[in-house]
Chains A and B, each alone.
Chain A
Amino acid sequence: MDNILEIRNLKKDFGDFALKDISFSLEKGYIMGFIGPNGAGKSTTIKLIMNLIRRDAGEIEVFGLDNREHELTVKERIGFVYDESHYYEELTINEMKRIIARFYKQWDDSIFNKYLREFGLQPDKKIKNLSKGMKMKFSLAAAISHNAELIIMDEPTSGLDPIFRNEILDILRDLLQDENKGVLFSTHITTDLDKAADYITFIHNGELVLTGSKESIIEKYGVVKGGQELLDRDTRKEFLGMRETGFGFEALTGNVERVRKLFGGSVIIERPSLEDIMLYTVRGSANA
């Protein structure tokens, strides 16, 4: 059992939105990209892992431990970064750090200070005077200065420019030089993950669409391009989502081999980006 995170049949009903039967797991040593459009249920899932929300059913195990039964042990070993700063903004970076640090047995000031220097953050600056990117960097520094084994990030890159985003990904890769760590990274900006993620979990409308290694997903899925004449009721069923133009169609398939056999050389099949997979799937489910 080398799973750093395991979620089985997780359910939560809010009335107007429900998370339905989500299951996925993350092996230690890897980055999992957690993708889906806004409102898909990514934050809800993360909050359930952090026990900020009570689940209706299902199981959540972190480091092989139930996240509620072993709440303190589990949280001691998690580093969290949320999309918005929930820190007390009247405080300076150093004051806020002192508050957080006291809660962790394994807090290491030297790591924190190293990151502050690396990020160019001044410890005596008030949090409210930091830019969004700087706040995110502070959050990140605070999340990884207690030797956390699992880093959970909820949309850490939203609203940040590509340079910041790339820096964050580099830091995660650095962390993962230690193969006992793991990262769960939620985002709707999938280009961040095309490079960095080892595993992908994709949810939409509170339901699991797919989960697996990015490599196997990219191999199995494909963007198919061809002429309109190829489409009929039966062939349409082969696709998860489609875009038709006056000149032809572009569609996503979850079974490249099958499509290749079916259409042979009459279509072009391209390797999909995560964005392709997300866009076509969301479009497909809207049409269905």
Chain B
Amino acid sequence: MKIIISNSSQEPIYEQITKQFKDSIIRGELSPGEALPSIRNLAKQLQISVITTKRAYEELEKEGFIETVGGKGSFVSGQNKELLKEIRLKAIEEKLAEAVMEGKALDISLSQLQDMLQLLYEEGE
């Protein structure tokens, strides 16, 4: 996987890292049980502080994306419900975003789009 850090972004570096890991996990680039690079190694490679990578991993752990086994390192969690939900939500979001983009390109207003969505939603029931 790739991780790209922007030093000029207003977004804190640890958040940039967590986000990119989450994306990779959701997209399935990192599969459950797969080992993440060690905190120190990642810091070294990204040329950032160990504290930053540590914090990023802590966030990921808190949100259930990874598990840390003392002395062995961190691994991608077996998928739990919340995580799966988030993954699906993410996928939906992406598709909606695509639709919105398409709509904007054709100068379709928000209310028109909302109508379309409502129609589709009700149709499915």
Contacts and interface: CB of A to CB of B under 8 A. Distances in A.
Contacts of A195: 47-49
Interface in B32-89: 40-41, 43-44, 47-52, 55
A196 B51 contact: no
A199 B14 CA distance: 15
Contact of A215 (B10, B41, B49): B49
B47 A196 contact: yes
B50 A198 contact: yes
A219 interface: yes
Given A215-B14, A215-B55, A219-B12, A197 B49 contact: yes
A219 B44 CA distance: 22
Query: Interface on chain A toward B: helix, strand, loop, or mixed SS?
Result: mixed
Given A219-B12, A271-B10, A176 B50 contact: yes
Nearest to B10: A271
A138 interface: no
Nearest to B48: A195
Contacts of A31: 49-50
B4 to A, nearest CB: 15
Nearest to B45: A173
A270 B51 CA distance: 21
A173 B44 contact: yes
A177 interface: yes
B94 to A, nearest CB: 29
A149 to B, nearest CB: 15
Given A31-B50, A213-B49, A215-B52, 18 more contacts: A29-B40, A30-B51, A31-B49, A169-B47, A173-B43, A173-B47, A174-B44, A176-B44, A176-B50, A177-B40, A177-B44, A196-B47, A214-B49, A214-B51, A215-B14, A219-B12, A270-B10, A271-B10
Interface of A: 29-31, 169, 173-174, 176-177, 179, 195-199, 213-215, 219, 270-271
